[in-house]
Structure 1
Amino acid sequence: MKNVLALAVTALVAAVSSVICARLGIPVWSMFIGWIAFVAGGMSARTAAPTFVCAILGLVLGFVGASIIGGGAAALGGDIALLLGVFVIVFAALLAQFVPFASLVVCYFIGMTTFFASGLPPTAPTALVLGSGLLAGVLSGLLAVILSGVITRGPAAETT
């Protein structure tokens, strides 16, 4: 029964988070992508911050890729600019595995995907909106894990 209650609390956290995001003008889907990053990053308080950092760095790489692709299209041609842009951002994301605090490569790809899937231009307002969604998802996932843990563990045993 505790497990069912923990699942219900997780669903409630997601539902409340979606309403908060919608009210703040943050796309709800970006909150869910942040939650996916949280799960992919390890689903713990210890991994929440590195997960968010890697997803944000992936978002930044998406901006870099879009700039290379958009800026190089006229000079190099669309296919060459696309090839170069994707090579640069994927290589950078793969190199990140050697960065101690920010080595969650999958979260870089989650951040890049968030940007490219949004269809938004690489601007500061885009970074703010998508970054806020990713943060909301990571924090919602963390809150759900903490609350679920409290429910499934129950009260601490008394010692005498």
Structure 2
Amino acid sequence: MSHAHVTDLTPDTAATPAAGNGGGIGFTLIAAAVASVAVFLVALAGLPPWAMFVGWVTWFTRPASVRQGAYSVVCLWCGLALAVAAQLSIASLAPVVGQAALPITVFAVATLVVGLRSAPVLDNPVAWFLGLIGSFALHASDRLEGTIVLVEATGIGAAAALLCGQLQRRLTG
């Protein structure tokens, strides 16, 4: 199954009711309710709410199955880990190559991520890049703590997306 085009960030289109049959509002309300509960739980736990949505979006880059969604989350979390390595690389290269540290590191990271596009399980560059973006966006002074925070928040988001998809499938079932 090829995943060259990963643009649908909505639940499985096979489970989406046809326009005009009334199921659309149910899908909408399920997504809104699940997202609201998830963001409440994330905020209650002191985690960044935006990171929950990174997990949610990541899940829906491959909504065809629970397995594909889980693989997407693996790629997301690998992206978080790679971001830590990239930040360390930039910091260690900067004294030697100055401003070139960032583009050198980005070249290496992009080569790795895009090169994995045909590797089983790790073949979701969108999810990898969401992990990289999330890690850099957090601006955590403690990289380990920041990564743990992002794993927790994105995990909640992915779990909420799974629940959302399951509930929406029941609506059509």
Q: Which residue of 2 aligns with 1:80?
A: 100
Shift of 1:132: 1.1
Moved over 4 A (4+): none
- Report the AA paired with residue 40 of structure 1: T
Q: Which runs of 5+ in 1 are unaligned?
A: 154-160
Q: Please give the TM-score of this superposition, normalised by the length of structure 2.
A: 0.82
Q: Which residue of 2 aligns with 1:158?
A: none
Q: Which residue of 1 aligns with 2:49?
A: 28
Counterpart mapping for 1:1-160 below 5 A: 1-42=22-63, 44-77=65-98, 79-121=99-141, 123-153=143-173
Q: Which runs of 5+ in 2 are unaligned?
A: 1-21
Structure holding more helix per residue: 1
Q: Aligned equivalents of 1:19 and 1:43: distance in 2? A: 27
Shift of 1:122: 5.6
- Report the AA paired with residue 97 of structure 2: L
How has the CA–CA distance of structure 1 residues 66 and 105 changed in structure 2, closer, same or farther, with 3 Å as cutoff? same
Instruction: Give aligned pairs, total.
Output: 152
The 3-state SS of whatever aligns with 2:68 is: helix
Shift of 1:141: 0.7
Percent identity over the alignment is 26
Shift of 1:43: 5.3
Q: Aligned equivalents of 1:28 and 1:43: distance in 2? A: 25
How has the CA–CA distance of structure 1 residues 30 and 43 changed in structure 2, closer, same or farther, with 3 Å as cutoff? farther
8 Å Cα contact 1:44/1:145 also seen in 2:
no
RMSD: 1.4
Q: Please give the TM-score of this superposition, normalised by the length of structure 1.
A: 0.89
Q: Which has the larger radius of gyration?
A: 1
Shift of 1:74: 1.2
